[in-house]
């Protein structure tokens, strides 16, 4: 069965079983989402939505995407039973969804392959992207290199410092990395700059947003390209355990790996969905990036969602040790899942994430990304509190190779 046909079937099924098929035509998840962008971009978003919906129904597009996901990305990624971690925590049975084993080392490439194929269909010759940790930037530069397209990646100066390895990789791949010096010099500012570039280059440029954020149709489209993660888990866990998991735990920055693994289980009410945000150094303003846990409704980067902002509507400074979670907003569908109670959102601190990073590395021989380490860190606290016959799936959204320098620094070791 091909990838997006499965999605189409899934969503049609949802239309039948659940009246609130989301997003609605104007791109809203309940009250969240929408399109809050300058008029200049509206026609491009309309075109993108039209072309995407056509592609989604086109068997040729689906076959092509399936081919690249299997032959190039290496899908399906394994669902691995983490025996030693399970024994150590002496609680629920823990499985790891190994998105770190994808080509380029993270889930991000599921989305960039889909969007580059779409850009080619639309006749756009240039790709731009924003990146935080650099994983999305590398995944975009990789897809662009493979299809011979020109590629500019916007990246905050602070992130360039934290993620020099990924910066070098992007350059090797032929992408132009544009340093962003405005504001906090991180992901949010890179997103501003990419949107601004798109305003003046929209005729020949496709903007690949890396998460389920931004104006409609991005939150829907990026989700659709990521739900392959959850679809595989559903099959794999049935095969391994003959049942669905009791808990799915994923980290949430913008929220693409989380929505990708959650979405196919949304109708399975017995599966509890837990998103883990960056608690950073604590809950003072500027010390964390937990938009769902601590934010309020607001508009950022083209959609209405939970946002960390002050009482005037100005975006707050945020912090996380993980560049990929260092973002003051979150995908609008997560806001909807929070309000409806379908998913629960919690947070862990920088220190807890680093401890989990070390624990997973030592016990399982798997070096997880600092982003995914947040999901592991919550599991470390949570698993011992539940029965041994329960099953937890953690999404290991990416590999921690890129974080070696940051973790060494935190441990006081110079590389």
Partner 1 sequence: MNRIDAKFNELRERNEPAFIPFITAGDPSLDATRKLIVEFDRKGSDMIELGVPYSDPIADGPVIQSSYYRALSGGVKLSNILELVKDVRKKSEIPIVSMISQSILFKNGCENFVKSAVKAGFDGATIPDLPVEEAEEIMEAGKKEGFKIICFIAPTTTSHRMELIVKKSQGFLYYISVVGITGVRSELSADITENIQNIKKSTNLPVALGFGISTPEQARMAGKVADGVIVGSAIMREIEKYSSQGDDVLVDKVGKFVGKLVNSTKNRN
Which residues of the chain form contacts with partner 1 (CB under 8 A)? 26, 34-44, 46, 182-183, 188-189, 192, 195-196, 199-200, 202-203, 297-302, 304, 307, 309, 311-315
DSSP states of 75-133: PSPPEEE-HHHHHHHTSSEEEEEEGGGSGGGBTHHHHHHHHHHHHHHTT--EEEEEESS
Q: How far is the CB of 208 from partner 1 (least distance, A)?
A: 17
For partner 1, the closer of residues 115 and 192 by Cβ is 192
Q: Indicate the residue among 170 and 300 with the shorter CB distance to partner 1.
A: 300
Minimum CB distance to partner 1 smaller for 67 or for 204: 204
User: Distance (Å, rounded) from C-alpha 217 to C-alpha 35?
Assistant: 8
Least spacing, CB of residue 111 vs partner 1, in Å: 21
> In terms of CB distance, is 149 or 304 closer to partner 1?
304
Angle value at C-alpha 94, between 321 and 232, nearest 5 degrees = 90
Residues with catalytic function: 108, 130, 397
Q: How far is the CB of 186 from partner 1 (least distance, A)?
A: 12
Residue 117: half-sphere exposure toward Cβ, Cα within 13 Å? 23
Smallest gap, in angstroms, from Cβ of residue 370 to partner 1?
Answer: 25
- Tell me how far, at minimum, the Cβ of 289 lies from partner 1, in Å: 15
| Residue 215 main-chain phi, psi, to 5 deg | -75, 155
CA atoms within 13 A on the CB side of 415: 10
Question: Is residue 300 helix, strand or coil?
Answer: strand
Nearer to partner 1, 248 or 307 (CB): 307
Alpha-helical (H) ranges within 310-403 are: 332-340, 350-364, 370-382
CB contact at 8 A, 288 and 319: yes
């Amino acid at each position: 069965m091909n990838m997006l046909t499965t999605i189409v079937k899934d969503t049609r099924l949802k239309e039948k079983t659940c009246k609130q098929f989301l997003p609605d035509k104007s791109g809203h998840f309940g009250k969240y989402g929408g399109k809050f962008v300058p008029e200049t971009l509206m026609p491009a978003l309309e075109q993108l939505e039209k072309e995407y919906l056509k592609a989604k129904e086109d068997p040729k597009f689906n076959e092509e995407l399936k081919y690249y996901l299997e032959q190039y990305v290496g899908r399906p990624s394994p669902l691995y039973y983490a025996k030693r971690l399970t024994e150590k925590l002496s609680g629920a049975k823990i499985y790891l969804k190994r998105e770190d084993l994808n080509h380029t080392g993270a889930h991000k490439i599921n989305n960039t392959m889909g969007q580059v194929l779409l850009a080619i269909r639309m006749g756009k010759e240039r790709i731009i992207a924003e990146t935080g940790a650099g994983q999305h930037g590398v995944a975009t530069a990789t897809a662009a290199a493979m299809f011979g397209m020109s590629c500019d990646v916007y990246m905050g100066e602070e992130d360039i410092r934290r993620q020099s390895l990924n910066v070098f990789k992007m350059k090797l791949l032929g992408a132009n990395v544009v340093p962003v010096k405005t504001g906090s010099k991180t992901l949010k500012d890179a997103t501003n700059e990419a949107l601004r570039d798109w305003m003046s280059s929209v005729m020949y440029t496709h903007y690949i947003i890396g998460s389920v954020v931004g104006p409609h149709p991005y939150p829907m489209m990026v989700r659709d390209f990521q739900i392959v993660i959850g679809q595989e888990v559903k099959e794999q866990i049935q095969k391994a355990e003959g049942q669905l998991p009791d808990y799915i735990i994923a980290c949430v920055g913008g929220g693409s790996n989380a929505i990708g693994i959650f979405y196919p289980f949304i109708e399975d009410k017995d599966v509890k969905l837990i998103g883990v945000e960056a608690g950073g150094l604590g809950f003072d303003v500027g010390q964390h990036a937990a938009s769902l846990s601590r934010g309020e409704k607001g508009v950022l980067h083209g959609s209405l969602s939970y946002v960390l902002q002050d009482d005037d509507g100005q975006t707050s400074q945020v912090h996380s040790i993980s560049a990929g979670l260092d973002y003051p907003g979150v995908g609008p569908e997560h806001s909807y899942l929070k309000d409806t109670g379908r998913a629960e959102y919690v947070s862990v601190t920088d220190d807890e994430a680093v401890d989990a990073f070390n624990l997973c590395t030592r016990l399982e021989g798997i070096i997880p990304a600092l982003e995914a380490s947040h999901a592991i860190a919550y599991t470390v606290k949570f698993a011992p509190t539940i029965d041994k016959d329960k099953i937890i799936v953690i999404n290991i959204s990416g590999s921690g190779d890129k974080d070696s320098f940051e973790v060494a620094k935190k441990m006081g070791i110079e590389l």
